[in-house]
Chain A
Amino acid sequence: MSTSRIAAASELGVLATLRRGVQISPQIVDGLWLTLALAVLAAAGRVVVPVAVQRTIDDGILAGGGPDAGRVALLTGLAAGAVVVAGLCTAVVNVRLFRRTEAGLAALRVQAFRHVHDLSTLAQGTERRGALVSRVTSDVDTISLFVQWGGIQLLVSTLQVLVATALMAVYSWQLTLVVWACFVPLFLVLRRAQGTVNRAYAAVRQAVGAMLGAISEAVVGAETVRAYGVAARTGRRVDAAVEHTRATQARAQLLVSSVFSSGVLVANLVLAVVVVVGTLLGVGGGLTAGQVVAFLFLVQLFTGPVQQATEILNELQNAVAGWRRVLAVLETPLDVADADDATASPRGPAAVTLRGVRYAYPDGPEVLHGVDLELPARRKVAVVGRTGSGKTTVAKLVARLMDPTEGEVLLDGVDLRRLTLASLRERVVLVPQEGFLFDGTVEQNVAYGLRPDPPSDPAETRARVTGAVDALGLTDWVAGLPRGLDTPVGQRGEALSAGERQLVAIARAYLAAPDLLVLDEATSAVDPAAEVRIARALDSLTSGRSTITIAHRLSTAEASDLVVVVDDGRVVEVGGHAELAAAGGVYARMHASWVAQTR
């Protein structure tokens, strides 16, 4: 098991994460000061009602000359206006925050997505695909959700508490201190409890991950599950994981509810304290009845924020954790990237040279032990060898999917590491054994090879694709498909057989028109007649181009200009087919056994 090259999460602290995040998505802080100013106005709106209550009681109901309805009507009218204005401010603050953060997060998604593609296939391979997807989807969603719920709450609540405190202090600094003395310990206790709550939530996330893993076996392994009749066992595994998730969720809920309701208890006990202490202060002459009652209303402005503080901080932590996971992707260094002084490689016949090339996979033993090779331009080269001999590694190095640990790979005499990747990809295309297809039609998948982009004119695309299909002798095969070129290939091309997927991949690579085509067992699953047909077509159509073919089937070697035999990480023989077949070495033995199997 190789460890992931992409860190699980960035190691930045909370503030550093936010700073780095904002650096990458500067849209988030666009016009932040105006938003904050509007938020202060919005928060000020929250104390309008308590003030109105105080004035109504002191100057209205308890007014010297009996209740004064007219005065209160005017007062409440004004207050209503203020509340509406504050509401408008809240709406504007929300919209501004959503617009800016969503713009920033969209940019973050795209950057992270691009970075994953820019990583070497090796680095990509060390991380589960699903985990990579979640870095650009659910992890970013966590941040988005936090902004839409918790972020707004956090901003408004903080301001609300500040404004309420200021008003309370105007009425009575003593009672204000008493209220703070109740809420501050509550807040501290709740923060402590948060650690336990967080662990419970982490356990839930882990349980959900394991459960989805179990369910995915029932989905991705559907064919296997049926072929072996193991539905019952798979079902038991899924049920156990589902039940574990439920139990973990229930435990987390118990904890969270206990913490939350103790917050409710304290917040309402504060009412008792305010009535007792406030009245005592009032009796001493420091407070009016209206002010004591206003305090009861103002305390409510504390309750919400303090109760929700733990949940909001929790959400904040989730958001920061999500942000860290996305940032970790962007922090992963690109191991195969353009050098500063990289130059573009000009198109033309491609000659490849390997000099003293050694290669070891990360945390693995060396698989190539010093390979020297001269592969002249415009030649068909076949690389053969047993499973595990290192021949696929040679193909990957030539296509620069990774760099050698020692030695150099040269294209037309220039080290690949000194060429721009864009020009290299244009000239060298690798077709792997398992050709990946996008969920679309056969035509769309073949046309994917057209670079830089398939033509916008559908008729032209159709013409190019048909041309490739005809040139490769695949016309009959396409005609036999349910809907011809418009046949949908299904997800990952699974509606086609493995051999058919390879045919599509070959046609796609053909349209990409590289100078050097590297075929890594790209026809291993097609029938012999089709393989011969394709080989012949590639022969006649790639004249002027170079091909390197990694092959199990030695028919390819027979048809090549040069055969390279790799054994145990070393090149043991190089020469023409006839020459090597007659030489009585490794190749001669391989070929004899191949002939015996095919005749």
Chain B
Amino acid sequence: MGAGRDGRAGDDRTTLSGSRLRRSATLVWRGMRSEPRLYVLAVGASAVFGAATVAVSRAVGWATDAVVVPAIAGDPDARSRIWVAGLVLAAVALTLALGVAGRRIWAGYGFAAIQAHHRRGLSRQYLRLPVSWHRAHPAGRLLSAASADVEAATGVFNPLPFALGVVVMIGVAAGMLLAVDVWLAVAALLVVPAAIAANVVFQRHMTPAVTRAQQLRAEVADVAHESFEGALLVTSLGTADREERRFAERTDALRAANVRVGTVRAVFDPVIELLPSLGTLAVLGVGTWRASTGAVDAGDVVTAAYLLTVMAVPVRAFGWVLGELPRALVGYDRIAGILDAPSTLSPGSQALPRAAGGLAVRLEGVGVDVPAAGTAATLLDGVDLDVAPGTTVAVVGSTGAGKTTLVSLLARLSDPTRGRVLLDDADVRDLAAGEVPAQVALVTQQTFVFEDTVRANVTLADPGDDGAPDDAAVWEALRVARVDDVVRALPGGLDAPLGERGANLSGGQRQRLAVARALVRRPRLLVLDDATSAVDPRVEAEILGSLASARGGRGDGDDVPGTTVVMVAYRMSSVALADVVVHLEGGRVADVGPHADLLARDAGYRALATAYEQETARRARELADEAAAGERLPGDEQLEGTP
């Protein structure tokens, strides 16, 4: 599902635009700008490294001329300079090593800082964007944006200061060589444009190859993730062969893509290694010719040749930067797509005063459309509803009638396409961030358990946070939700870790934990979206019973209405607890009223509410007929009994 990629606008977008070169430059510049101090230091150290590298080759050339050649030829002065040459070389070596250390340390710090910057931005966005956006974006993709895509987008910053130092190195080298001899300089420096040209060609071939491999790596992970998540289904249906084929097919595509990346690199690597070698050989040829004319001496040739040897690795830094850039652009684009996604649920500024008792809920002409197949599918339409404070409302309807869509509007997980949702007469869209969750608690069908203690999973706060419920309140909520015994049995009680790495609770226990999580917040509106479906009917009855009594005991005075409750329910026992029943069919309100009234006047509701009774009666009739007809084999009854 690739929804939500369009509709971004505005000037402060993260997404890069313009030519590839311009986008690359912006990417690099933005990264360095975000950590100016670190990059000044890193590039400065790298410049020292670049200059020191040239100094090494100069020192080697000088030692050849001033010491090695004359000393071996028998010059006694030169022999006395042997130790000086050693000291000079040692000093240059020390400078070089310090430059390298500074460059690597600060480059690494900058790299880590930029990664952290991206990750903070992404997670902030994940927390800001609405649930509908999350539904349209697989969790695996979002996580890989924070890991693989961030790594790809920042990979270029590791070799970047190195490459900038190499620019200094080439500048210094060019100046030095030109001062010695133009022909020698030309022979040595021809390598640089050749290397850059080779890099450009490399980049052209590498970009599509890397993009494809990256894409396929994500696809292989997606297939594995989905397949392992469906492991029970695969085992149960015995379809492991089918899954293996599906995985093998993607794996083979990834293999081919990896080989393609490797092949491009395999061809390019020797070329970039070859260039300095060929350059050195050219220097030797040209140098000997210039030496024969007396323009240069052996030391100059050695300097130029040595320079090319020590430049062989650093010049590759351009290759690394250019090689990482395509990957970085792909990664950055993915991150930017998320950072620029507009939040359709922007909070308002109004406060929702916390009055005693329950919230009044009103829906006016509410409709919800979702995009589907180029058109829009209507999930809800023309829903008007008025719920007085303290009322318990049951939302009843067949599977897919729009019940979840309706109740998620109340907690403002999404906004209606048409109409308004009002809490205590305030449009939820006008309320400031945090106002709705402070007074509305929604318990969803599936419970998300954080990797944290039981206590934190109930309070969703850290100990000592403002307004964090104390342990007594937590136990009370657990007791009302009938999950206190389960917690008491866990090693550590409230401190027991939950989540994937902690104790795993059964579906029913998780749901009851979620109910406790809602209760501890003392909400003025409690929304239960079929939140007790995995709980035994008897346990559910107990919870709902306690909810009723807990609510009754919470008001300040007798005449203050209790918490308003809106619940999606199937069980008639739950429905019987409700003051009002809303019968939803096909996204519209079919009828509203007390259970008994609806039973009397709403045929569709009657069919839903009495499905079991009717079925029992039908079966009794059938059995009676069979008994009359002398039928005994239940396996055969359908042959005749089919209406």
Contact = CB atoms under 8 A, between A and B. Distances in A.
B104 A257 contact: yes
Which of A62, A435, A482, A528 has the most chain B CB atoms inside 10 A of its CB?
A528
Contact of B143 (A219, A421, A535, A555): A219
Contacts of B98: 261
A211 B119 contact: yes
B138 A421 contact: no
Interface stretch (A12-20, A279-287, A403-411): A279-287
Interface in A365-424: 378-380, 386-388, 399, 401, 421-422, 424
Interface size class of A (residues with CB under 8 A): 35 or more
B211 interface: no
Contacts, number: 551
Contacts of A121: 231-232, 235
A38 B139 CA distance: 46
A483 B1 CA distance: 14
A216 B116 CA distance: 16
A173 interface: no
The majority secondary structure among interface residues of chain B is: helix
Interface stretch (A163-171, A339-347, A449-457, A563-571): A449-457
Contact of B521 (A228, A430, A544): A228
Contact of B258 (A144, A211, A540): A144
B86 A276 contact: yes
A426 B238 contact: yes
A387 B539 contact: yes
Nearest to B399: A499
Nearest to A577: B619
Nearest to A272: B89
Contact of A249 (B71, B112, B612): B112
Nearest to B144: A212
B92 interface: yes
A395 to B, nearest CB: 10
A279 B68 contact: yes
A424 to B, nearest CB: 8
B244 interface: yes
A106 interface: yes
Given A227-B442, A499-B399, A599-B613, A488 B1 contact: yes
B97 interface: yes
A44 to B, nearest CB: 13
Given A215-B143, A293-B64, A109 B251 contact: yes
A64 B112 CA distance: 59
B90 interface: yes
Contacts of B123: 214-215, 218, 235, 238-239, 242
A593 interface: yes
A275 B105 contact: no
B220 interface: yes
A215 B445 CA distance: 22
Contacts of A73: 285, 288-289
A543 B636 CA distance: 7
A90 B271 CA distance: 10
Contacts of A463: none
Contact of A246 (B92, B115, B134): B115
Contacts of B122: 215
Interface stretch (B4-12, B125-133, B559-567): B125-133
A547 to B, nearest CB: 11
Nearest to A480: B400
B572 A243 contact: no
Contact of B607 (A261, A529, A552): A529
Contact of B448 (A129, A208, A223, A271): A223
Given A94-B269, A497-B400, A598-B572, A429 B237 contact: yes
B93 A271 contact: yes
B506 A110 contact: no
Contact of B225 (A88, A133, A222): A133
Interface string B408-438: 0001110000000000000000000110111
B289 A69 contact: yes
B324 to A, nearest CB: 13
Contacts of A221: 448, 450
B373 A268 contact: no
A246 B89 contact: no
Contacts of A588: none
A94 B266 contact: yes
Contact of A543 (B72, B284, B616, B638): B638
Given A218-B126, A451-B239, A544 B399 contact: no
Given A53-B284, A490-B1, A233 B445 contact: no
B473 interface: no
Contact of A110 (B100, B108, B230, B248): B248
A283 B71 contact: yes
Interface in A122-170: 124, 128-130, 132-133, 136-137, 141, 144, 148
Contacts of A555: 611-612, 615-616
A239 B124 CA distance: 9
B96 interface: yes
A91 B267 contact: yes
Contacts of B539: 387
Interface string B296-316: 011001100110011001000
B272 to A, nearest CB: 10
A278 interface: yes
A425 to B, nearest CB: 3
Contact of A99 (B64, B259, B310): B259
B89 to A, nearest CB: 4
A52 B284 contact: yes
3 A-B pairs with least C-beta separation: A229-B437, A425-B238, A253-B108
19 contacts: A1-B501, A56-B284, A69-B288, A94-B266, A105-B255, A106-B248, A129-B228, A133-B221, A213-B451, A220-B448, A234-B127, A238-B123, A258-B105, A292-B68, A401-B232, A436-B233, A477-B398, A499-B400, A558-B612
